């Protein structure tokens, strides 16, 4: 594989992780013109479904009769359980991406400081 330009070109002043662009359309399908409606629906439906799954798997232990015996009419309680689970998962993913970004950025900076070529430029690894 031959590169016509260095793969680390333009990374002299990289943006910090917290300044990266976030595009919600890459995460959630958002029809054009209905973005706010769909984000609102996702904000209500996803935590509720996750809360129901949590109650079914961990509280009712997968028993459908025990699950039906639970008071599922308490929408706010089920939604709050799901919201906390979704928030925990999202924060864990963000933290993992931050660590991965920092490791990649540090290796790129070290490679540029050494003024050596990365292995994929020296050897044909394909």
| 3-state SS record for 35-94 | HHHHHHHHHHHHHHHHHHHHHHHHHCCCCHHHHHHCCCCCHHHHHHHHHHHHHHHHHHHH
| Structure tokens, 11 | 């990374």
| C-beta separation of 78 from 72 below 8 A | yes
Statement: the pTM of the whole predicted model exceeds 0.85: no
pLDDT in tens, 18-39: 777 777 777 777 888 888 898 8
pLDDT at residue 50 in the model: 96
Q: How far apart are CA 63 and CA 44, in angstroms?
A: 26
* pLDDT over threshold 80, residue 13: no
């Amino acid at each position: 594989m031959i590169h016509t330009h260095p793969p680390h070109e333009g990374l002299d002043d990289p943006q910090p992780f917290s300044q990266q662009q976030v595009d919600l359309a890459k995460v959630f399908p958002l029809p054009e013109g209905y973005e706010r409606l769909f984000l609102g629906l996702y904000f209500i439906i996803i935590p509720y479904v996750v809360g129901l799954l949590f109650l079914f798997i961990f509280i009712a232990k997968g028993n459908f009769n025990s699950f039906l015996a639970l008071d599922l009419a308490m929408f706010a309680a089920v939604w709050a359980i799901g919201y906390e689970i979704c928030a925990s998962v999202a924060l864990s993913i963000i933290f993992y991406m931050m660590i991965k970004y920092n490791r990649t950025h540090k290796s790129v900076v070290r490679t540029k400081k050494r003024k050596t070529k990365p292995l994929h430029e020296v050897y044909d690894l394909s």
